[in-house]
Amino acid sequence: MSKKPIRVGFIGLNPDSHWAAMAHLPALRSLSEDFEIVAVANSTPESGQRTAERLHLPHAFATPQELVTSDVVDLVVVTVKVPYHYELVSAALAAGKHVHCEWPLGNGLAEAQKLAALAAEKGVVATVGTQMRTAPEVKYLKQLIADGYVGTVLSSSLIGSGGNWGAESSAELAYLFDKANGATMLTIPFGHTLAGVQDVLGEFADVNGRTLKCRDTVHITDTGADVVTSAADQILVHGQFKSGAAFSAHYRGGMSRGTNFLWEINGTDGDLQVTGNIGHGQFAQMTIKGAKGADSELHTLVPPAELFAELPEQVIPRNVTGIYKLVAKDIQTGSREAPSFADALKLHQLLDAIGQGNEYL
């Protein structure tokens, strides 16, 4: 007897553009035995209806509240901008629905605390999209460390470019430069990447950090306006993992003509180096090199083919598919392997301490 697919209702899905169409749609379509997209609710009834017609979905709800309370939906997926996460996720949890929310979970630590508490109270599967953790390259790195490729890890260093938060942006992305919106370089690329780093090297024992705003304005290319920024464009962090290994990181806004992603892991017996095209670890194209023992120079290490089996070829939907595979397992079997709201809360606490210039313990 075949299993019944999990019925998915999207809040915030446009088939023509944006993250949901680029990442979530192909990911869920690649897992058609586990998921069926059945419903949508957007910012207006007309928008939802257009999406339903284009994607041949059976249900277009006039409001998110109607979607989360509908019996046709098992899992609510929230893919709207961060300032709207709290209201929509709270409604879905209150309705007793399983929820998958884009990272960041909330607009700041206080919202994340409330959502994590509500999810625990309801006892549903509540997960967050920190998908660098399921990248095949990250899984491979984790296995290399576990197998002792570098021996005892002594230190790890990280440098990355945020892509946004540079000198120029578009009107559509201008909200990223207002830190009040909760969608900053600290919370998005750096937060995603720290989730992956901790999956490989373990949690932090302590971290100190500071953020700097070195640009006063950003030029909006499609309007010609210069907009005042409040979000940091430089992040400096140092600390120690619970294993005892040292850690340092520097993220900068925009893109570099030099290195845009470099992550090194150094141990008693070997070294690993990960490079990529951008500091968003959740969708960076990663290359892994390593050397150990008598090796005199780094050489490329290719993750085993089985780590890519039955996953989309493109990196963005591939990593999101990895998260959805865990979400399906959690809902169907009662396991708790996908990144949870409790995991998200820990990451929010870490980033909040860095953003406030406090020590995280």
Q: 284-331: per-residue pLDDT in tens?
A: 999 999 999 999 999 999 999 999 999 999 999 999 999 999 999 999
Q: 98-135: per-residue pLDDT in tens?
A: 999 999 999 999 999 999 999 999 999 999 999 999 99
Residue whose entry in the numeric block shows the structure tokens 């999207």: 10
How does DSSP classify residue 186? I
Mean pLDDT for 180-203 is 98
> Do 20 and 164 reside in the same domain of the chain?
no
Q: Which two tokens stand for residue 138?
A: 């990250």
C-alpha–C-alpha distance, residues 29 and 22, integer Å: 12
Find out whether 230 and 185 touch, Cβ atoms under 8 Å. Answer: no
Residue 1 domain-assigned?
Answer: no
**3-class secondary-structure state, position 346:** helix
CATH number of the domain to which 91 belongs: 3.40.50.720
Find out whether 128 and 105 touch, Cβ atoms under 8 Å. Answer: yes
More confident residue, 147 or 1: 147
**Residue 15: per-residue pLDDT:** 87
> Do 193 and 303 reside in the same domain of the chain?
yes
Q: Which two tokens stand for residue 311?
A: 């996953």
Q: Taking 50 as the threshold, does the pLDDT of residue 1 lie above it?
A: no
Q: 228-287: per-residue pLDDT in tens?
A: 999 999 999 999 999 999 999 999 999 999 999 999 999 999 999 999 999 999 999 999
Q: To the nearest whole number, what is the mean pLDDT of the chain?
A: 96
Q: Which two tokens stand for residue 103?
A: 């990272």
> Do 267 and 148 reside in the same domain of the chain?
yes
**What is the domain range of residue 266?**
133-307+349-356
> Do 92 and 230 reside in the same domain of the chain?
no
Q: 3-23: per-residue pLDDT in tens?
A: 799 999 999 999 886 899 999
> Do 157 and 256 reside in the same domain of the chain?
yes
C-alpha–C-alpha distance, residues 55 and 28, integer Å: 13
**Residue 361: per-residue pLDDT:** 60
- Total number of domains constituting the chain: 2
